[in-house]
Amino acid sequence: MPHSNGPSLLHNKKSADTPIQVLVAEDNLLNLKLIGAIITAQGYKVLEATTGLLGLELARRHHPALIVMDIQLPDISGLEVTRLLKADVDTADIAVVGTSAHLAAGDGATQEAGCDAFMPKPIKISDFIELLRSLVIRGAAAKGPRGVEAANGPEPVA
């Protein structure tokens, strides 16, 4: 009987002890709660930011596996936050999905800023869950060696 080989990223001991974190940067509270509820239902921990700068700060402090990044935020745009994170070696490996009701934002702009994917609004829940799973696995894999290092070493200094 064949059995799967390769690491199961979501079921090893380390992952079970340390919940995978997903940051949601979204200024529309209804969207924030909806997206957060979907993520929580998948067993991930949600971090919430309603501004770009808070999103940037939480991403640097907590190094989530994935960020769901609204493009239109009240201070600096989600594209700007993504550019800053992708330009920084400490946060470049965090997966980012840009999201917007304006299709123009998905038309190259999010990719140019460094987003790993684009999700149009209104959000289609089944599509979002699929995207969430694939990007979280990628983000957790990218985090691997440094995650171990960080767990064994002193508190990282930004």
Residues of this chain that interact with Mn ion (CB under 5 A) are: 27, 70, 72
The distance in angstroms from the start CA to the end CA of the chain is 49
CB of 114 to Mn ion, least distance (A): 19
Q: 27 vs 88, which CB is nearer to Mn ion?
A: 27
Q: 76 vs 142, which CB is nearer to Mn ion?
A: 76
CB of 29 to Mn ion, least distance (A): 10
Q: 49 vs 140, which CB is nearer to Mn ion?
A: 49
Q: 24 vs 135, which CB is nearer to Mn ion?
A: 24
Q: Are 31 and 120 in contact (CB under 8 A)?
A: no
CB of 78 to Mn ion, least distance (A): 8
CB of 67 to Mn ion, least distance (A): 14
Long-range pairs of 49-54 with CB within 8 A, sequence gap ≥ 24: 49/23, 49/24, 49/25, 50/25, 50/26, 50/74, 51/25, 51/27, 51/75, 51/76, 52/25, 52/76, 52/77, 52/78, 52/80, 52/81, 54/25
How many Å apart are CA 28 and CA 47, to the nearest integer? Answer: 15
